[in-house]
Amino acid sequence: MAALLAFLSLGLLILILTEWRERHRKSDRQVSEPVSDPDCCGQHLVCERDSLLQPLDKPVYYDDEELDAYAGIAAENLTESQAAAIGEVFHSLRESDVPGWVRSIQMRRIALPPELREEALLIVREQRSGSVGR
């Protein structure tokens, strides 16, 4: 009888640990998988890659208040001068400031011009992996 009780206790312990491990894996995947927001248009870095946004963040300005005039304009609808103004700010940033700036313009609903999007993503990836330079 004692052996049966020990066997059942061991089985219960294995079941509990397995369930805990699965929940832990799910929470890790939720942190590292791209955001899948049905309202997202797919044009923003937050939709395409790991989310840069944190729920309680507020935008930080990088002497770029003038870019707020472009809020809500889709990337493909930006004029050459608007894209150039965004690019001017982007290229004036230190590499270490790029992830914060991208997060800020996303929060301000400012689209990155397509030609800057891949460059910004590359810099963000490098920052996340620990590479620094620029």
Which pLDDT tens digits describe the chain residue by residue (134 residues)? 888 778 778 777 787 877 777 776 654 444 433 444 444 454 445 444 444 555 546 888 999 999 999 999 999 999 999 999 999 999 999 998 998 899 899 999 999 999 899 999 888 888 777 755 54
How confident is the model at residue 85, as a pLDDT? 96
Number of H helices, E strands in the chain: 5, 0
Long-range contact pairs involving 35-44 (C-beta distance under 8 Å, separation at least 24): 41/74, 43/74, 43/75, 43/76, 43/111, 44/106, 44/111
Which of 31, 80, 89 lies closest to 62 in space, CA to CA? Answer: 89
**Domain map of the chain by residue range?**
1-33, 35-129
pTM summary value: 0.56
Interatomic CA distance for residues 112 and 90, integer angstroms: 10
DSSP string over 50-106:
S----TT-----SS-GGGGGGTT--GGG--HHHHHHHHHHHHHS-GGGHHHHHHHHH
| 3-state secondary structure (DSSP) of residue 27 | helix
Which of 105, 120, 99, 106 lies closest to 64 in space, CA to CA? Answer: 105
